[in-house]
A and B are shown apart, each in its own frame.
Chain A
Amino acid sequence: MQFLQLVISGIAQGCIYGLIALGFVLIYKATETVSFVQGELMMLGAFGGLACMTMLNFPFWLSVICAISAMAVFGVLLERLIIRPILGQPAFSIVMLTIGIGYVARGLITMIPGIGTETHTLPVPYKDEIWKVGTLVLNVEQMVVIAATSVLCGLLFAMFKYSKMGIAMQASSQNQLAAYYMGIPVKRINGLVWGLASAVAAIAGLLLAPITFVHANMGFIGLKAFPAAVVGGFGSLPGAIVGGLIIGIVESLAGFYAPDGIKDIAAYVVVLIMLMVKPNGLFGEKLRKKV
């Protein structure tokens, strides 16, 4: 029973990692740039939700919609104003650029007087409730995370499979030039992908907020989403979620069965082993560069 309990809380945590990793993978697949800003986008999303709920006194559902759509717009603007001018530069420039954006986001949030340096709780309706199923004690917050992630995955799957926009995104991520020749507006698609990735990050932030707290440094959890993305294979959307779940479960089990301190580095140990054994990840395609 204890084992099952640990696995469930690991899955909930893993869903968060998976959602952030999903953002990385979306952006990587579409524009072949690696975004180090995903964790900060998540933090901004959580703060957005907090602002809607506590300052504007919106009801819960409206705050969620507002925060997510605001972050989507923010993502599109970010791509248009900062990322696009240097597309085509070496990949590392863009990595440094996103690190810079992360610094600015964290700095700006901490500069808001009275709010930025504090930790807040997000007043969600399902706070601190538990369900008892047999001997299992289920935390509703964790259940919501798992349910929301499953729904979101379903929606994303449907979008990529059936909608015109999703298929265009797939085409553009497979071969930008060919997609462009087919009349797909690749630039606009790139912007929308950033918007989508930011929205997913905001959802992750809103889901994580009731479990931990909302504070300026919560974006550092994004660093654990990298291992998730690598374990799943950097270019694979289902891989990101699976990788996140693996990392979450390993971490949760390590926290209980392994000595102190192993929990914090479990994710990194897993990713190092993965890189040594199977550098392309579980679902990654094996690709070699041609001359």
Chain B
Amino acid sequence: MRFVFKTDYAQDIRLAKHGGHVFWYSLLMVFLLAAPWLIAEYWLAQLTFILIYAIAGLGLMLLAGFTGQFSIGHAAFLGVGAYTQAVFTNMGFPFPFALAMAGMLSAAVGVVVGLPALRVKGIYLGIATIAFAFIVEEVFARWESVTGGNSGIHIKAPNLFGWELSSGEEFYFLCLVITVTVTLGILNLLRSSTGRAFVAIRDSEISAQSMGIHLARYKTLSFAISAALAGIAGALYAHKLQFISPDQFNIIQSIDLLLMVVIGGLGSVHGAFLGAIFLIAMPQLIAMTKDYLPAVIGQAPGLQSLVYGAVLIGFVLGEPLGLYGRWFKIRTYLQTFPFYRKGMFKRQKTFQKSDRLK
């Protein structure tokens, strides 16, 4: 059992709440830094994908989990980032410049998409983002002079002022640095007044507004940051795959991103990472267990979508806070060891908290 004795207000917003945090996160960092020497190249590539998806997940988490604005078209931002990166890198610009452009262009697009969010909310916003994502996908396919159309576009290795990062290890470290920077940035943002404004908007727009939070500004800001992170993730994604085509940024990808934050756990930074691990590890796990299943089930093409769907249903029904919520309960059980009560995390039902006028 652990008891954190608070003597100072600054303790409430400290990133590492106690010694355990420092120890475990340092251990994680050491593992991540040593990973290229510890694990095989294939798994390192998977780990790189986890980092990339975690960045996109952090973006969507900020929007969906902390600001409460659901975007069902986030793959569009991923695509904007990826194509911007591809175009600028192939024109010979160095990596940091191309990445900045990818992030900023995505953010600009995010602001445009965020505009309807000022007028519509809930499901209407979801539909607006879906509609937007379809339009963007079509633009990628049709604007052939820039994007190469449906045949896709190749992208050169990232170039850090003359230093080509062509090997998997070098690129892994690049992703790691960006992921850590982004994570710390998001953590800092969330404990600032801006982050608290986001959470206030999520919990109740009306009360946030009456507390003097400028809804339009903060919603647009949230969309912009979220889109910028998705754009950065898209840029790294493009470099990792070295080839992008419009169908990589379709509605399935958007739903995958959403699935990632929901299964990871809405409203927690951990959730973005846990969701990314789930999203990357699940196909591997399915591929591994395929051989042990009867051929009718194991070789069926629909197996993956069946498993994803079933896991999603399971989480929404049984554990709405996702993987992180499950971990949080286990941790609380251990920390308060003999005193854990069954009803501690009982779901509260809010019957028909209606969005409509009654």
Contacts and interface: CB of A to CB of B under 8 A. Distances in A.
Interface of A: 28, 32, 34, 82, 85-89, 91-97, 99-111, 113, 116-117, 175-177, 216, 220, 223, 226-227, 230, 234-235, 260-261, 264-265, 267-269, 271-272, 275-276, 279, 287-291
B356 A32 contact: yes
Interface in B283-299: 296-297
A132 to B, nearest CB: 36
Contacts of B259: 96, 99
B215 interface: no
Given A111-B302, A289-B355, A279 B120 contact: yes
Given A103-B312, A104-B309, A234-B123, A111 B300 contact: yes
B96 interface: no
Interface stretch (B53-61, B77-85, B126-134, B236-244): B126-134
Contacts of A34: 123, 126
Interface stretch (B5-13, B23-31, B103-111, B135-143): B135-143
B306 A96 contact: no
B295 to A, nearest CB: 9
B222 to A, nearest CB: 16
Majority secondary structure, A binding face? helix
A107 B128 contact: no
A99 B312 contact: yes
A106 to B, nearest CB: 6
Interface stretch (B39-47, B189-197, B328-336, B346-354): B346-354
Majority secondary structure, B binding face? helix
Residue of A99, A271, A279, A287 with highest tally of chain B CB at under 10 A: A99
Given A111-B300, A268-B135, 11 more contacts: A32-B355, A82-B317, A88-B352, A93-B316, A97-B317, A103-B308, A107-B304, A175-B358, A223-B134, A235-B356, A272-B132
Contact of A261 (B141, B206, B317, B349): B141
B258 A264 contact: no
B300 A272 contact: no
A276 B142 contact: no
A276 B135 CA distance: 16
Given A117-B301, A265-B138, A276-B116, A104 B313 contact: yes
Interface string B120-162: 1011101110111011001001100000000000000000000
A276 B355 contact: no
Interface string B249-280: 00100010011001000000000000000000
Contacts, number: 162
Given A93-B316, A100-B316, A268-B135, A108 B120 contact: no
Given A97-B316, A104-B306, A287 B131 contact: no
A99 B124 contact: no
B116 A113 contact: no
The 6 closest A-B pairs by CB, nearest first: A103-B309, A107-B306, A110-B302, A100-B312, A268-B131, A104-B309
A177 B306 CA distance: 37
Contact of B116 (A227, A261, A267, A272): A272
Interface residues on B, range: 35 or more
Contacts of A287: 356-357
Nearest to A273: B131
A151 B192 CA distance: 59
A211 B279 CA distance: 37
B304 to A, nearest CB: 7
Contacts of A288: 357
Interface string B75-114: 0000000000000000000000000000000000000000
B305 A91 contact: no
B303 interface: yes
Contact of B306 (A111, A268, A291): A111
27 contacts: A32-B355, A86-B317, A87-B351, A89-B320, A92-B70, A95-B70, A99-B309, A100-B308, A101-B309, A103-B308, A104-B305, A104-B309, A104-B310, A110-B300, A111-B301, A116-B300, A235-B356, A260-B142, A261-B142, A268-B131, A272-B116, A272-B135, A275-B119, A279-B116, A279-B120, A287-B357, A290-B357
A223 B250 CA distance: 13
Contacts of B134: 223, 264-265, 268
A30 to B, nearest CB: 12
A28 B123 CA distance: 11
